[in-house]
Amino acid sequence: MNKMISLVQEHDKWRSSCINLIASENVMSPACEKFYVSDLMHRYAEGTPFHRFYRGLKYVDEIENLAQEEFKKHFNANFADIRPISGTIANFSAFSGISERGDKILSLGIENGSHVSHEKAGAAGFLGLDVDTLCYDNDLSMDAEKSAEKILAVKPKFIVIGGSVILFPQPIKELKEACDKVGAKIIYDAAHVFGLIAAGIFQDPLKEGADIITTSTHKTFPGPQGGLILGNIEEQTAKTIQLRVFPGFSSNHHLHRIPALYCALREMQEFGKDYAEQIVKNSQALARELFDNGFKVLGEKKGFTQTHQAVVDFEKPGAGHEAAVKLEEANIILNKNMIPGPNQSPKMPRGIRIGVQEMTRFGMKEPEMKEIARLIKETVRDERGIDEIKKDVIGLRSGFQAVQYCFGKD
């Protein structure tokens, strides 16, 4: 027992002394954490609110219904399913709800930022979907014209956009016309940018013509780990998707998440605009500083980024991996990432993906981003000893320990 206690304590202590820049992570507020730990975590509730297979749910039904309706209202959606316990399960459910084995779909392709669940190796492949890719340029910007032509030629059942590496809004409106012509639905996987969308500072996929949003609830959106599906869809499609969520891809849906999820949405309604605007200011400041220090940063011609992410290309196979390992020694945590272009593999990519959402939540602003860029540069270029850099990282992080933009600050 003691071993486990100390491992968890060491983990917590270490991560609170790190600059955490993994683009898919975040932290919950104290108020959300409080909601997360309750008797709900012991209970089962198969089905939808007020239509259950279990007993003991008179409050659970109200809780889930309240959260579900708030998501519908906030995102102007006629459908919300907040049960998927991960973004991947949201994708499994939505994809399988609107397609059959052998159907063609178009995704971005991993090297252009899609998630593995959109690909042959993941959910789409396991569902027997025939995956081809939309058209991209080398700066992670979709070529709308060529992509529309491809949609007309391939006539997919649906296209899935959004993605895991996403720097700019995607041309939903432009693709919509082609999709309508061939009867293809548009799924926007908002996992990374869901917080920015919720705050109203990024493209609103449903308003721009997407049929369905799938998402994780713990990346820029600072909720508990989980997934959800939103949409403006016909009743029959909605029912089919619900049946994929349960009994399809899970039975129980981890009820303690739900009040925490609701709390995170309410926080976004109160504080989301300031939080999200600061995120984008921060990612742009960090990208700019790295660029000014001689790094190749994607999206240069368009101001580097309009999301929480910045992507650096070290222009050498495996250099992304080496950098990420070294940075971790200095308590800077981020992931290696593929960059559009040749000479790399997922294990030995050329680049790194940086996400500023978590450090923004702890109150960091542009001056701290410049400091972080300096520390990254010093580490990657071997300009100072790792121990010295690590001391600076710990010092910098020590001033940013409390979650901002939330209820229940201390």
Ligand X SMILES: *Cc1c(COP(=O)(O)O)cnc(C)c1O
Mark 202-221 with x for binding to ligand X (rule: CB under 6 A) and - for no binding.
--------------x-----
- Selected from 20, 26, 68, 86, the binder of ligand X by CB under 6 A is 86
Residue 223 engages ligand X in binding (rule: CB under 6 A): no
Provide the H-helix boundaries in 48-171. 58-74, 87-97, 123-126, 144-154
Residues 6+ apart with CB under 8 A from 59: none
Nearer to ligand X, 93 or 164 (CB): 164
Nearer to ligand X, 185 or 390 (CB): 185
* Tokens matching residue 82: 């907040």
Residue 107 engages ligand X in binding (rule: CB under 6 A): no
Cβ 86 to ligand X shortest distance, Å? 3
Nearer to ligand X, 219 or 288 (CB): 219
Q: Other CB atoms closer than 10 Å to residue 399's CB: what's the count?
A: 10
The whole-angstrom separation of Cα 101 and Cα 89 is 17
Nearest partner of 297 among 359, 357, 350, judged by Cα: 350
- Selected from 83, 150, 176, 192, the binder of ligand X by CB under 6 A is 192
How crowded is the C-beta side of 170, counted as CA atoms within 13 Å? Answer: 35
Nearer to ligand X, 162 or 340 (CB): 162
How crowded is the C-beta side of 177, counted as CA atoms within 13 Å? Answer: 8
Cβ 306 to ligand X shortest distance, Å? 16
Residues between 144 and 163 with contacts to ligand X, criterion CB under 6 A? 162-163
- Selected from 109, 169, 195, 227, the binder of ligand X by CB under 6 A is 227
Residues between 114 and 143 with contacts to ligand X, criterion CB under 6 A? 115, 117
The whole-angstrom separation of Cα 205 and Cα 197 is 8
Residue 164 engages ligand X in binding (rule: CB under 6 A): yes
Nearest partner of 130 among 170, 101, 96, 91, judged by Cα: 101
Residues interacting with ligand X, by CB under 6 A? 24, 86-88, 91, 115, 117, 162-164, 189, 191-192, 216, 227
